[in-house]
Amino acid sequence: MSNTYMVSGPSRAEVDALTGPVVLEFGTDWCGYCSAAQPAIASAFSAHPDVQHIKVEDGSGRPLGRSFKIKLWPTLVFMRDGTEVARLVRPTEAKPIADALAQINR
């Protein structure tokens, strides 16, 4: 699991073309909520090492975040074969993250 958000993330077309289970995590390295959520995110992902986790830096004018209508950080978008299945905004506990991961990782 990466500890930093990609400044130049994938395009929406690239994300929509991804196959299998994928989680997009929108946030920034300087966001306190994002930092606070990292232990819960890491804990949940430890049981799902095969799920692709893409951390994307978000902010004003960032097209990928705008295409997903991201308003707060961190936001986790759980996808399977390019389709959104679940979304969590500012998660603080591992269980809801693990439950969403189980939905996409079947």
CATH code (residue 79)? 3.40.30.10
What is the total count of domains within the chain? Answer: 1
Q: Is residue 5 part of a domain?
A: no
Stronger pLDDT, 60 or 74, i.e. the higher one? 74
Q: So what's the pLDDT on residue 13? A: 97
| Cα 34 to Cα 3: distance, rounded to the nearest angstrom | 11
Q: Provide the domain limits for residue 62.
A: 12-104
Q: Is residue 68 part of a domain?
A: yes
Q: Is residue 3 part of a domain?
A: no
Q: Is residue 30 part of a domain?
A: yes
Q: So what's the pLDDT on residue 41? A: 98
Give me 48's structure tokens: 């799902």
- CB under 8 Å to 48, separation ≥6 — which residues? 21, 98, 101, 102, 105
Task: Identify whether the C-beta of residue 43 lies closer than 8 Å to the C-beta of residue 99.
Answer: no
State mean pLDDT over 9-15: 94
Q: Is residue 1 part of a domain?
A: no
Q: Is residue 52 part of a domain?
A: yes
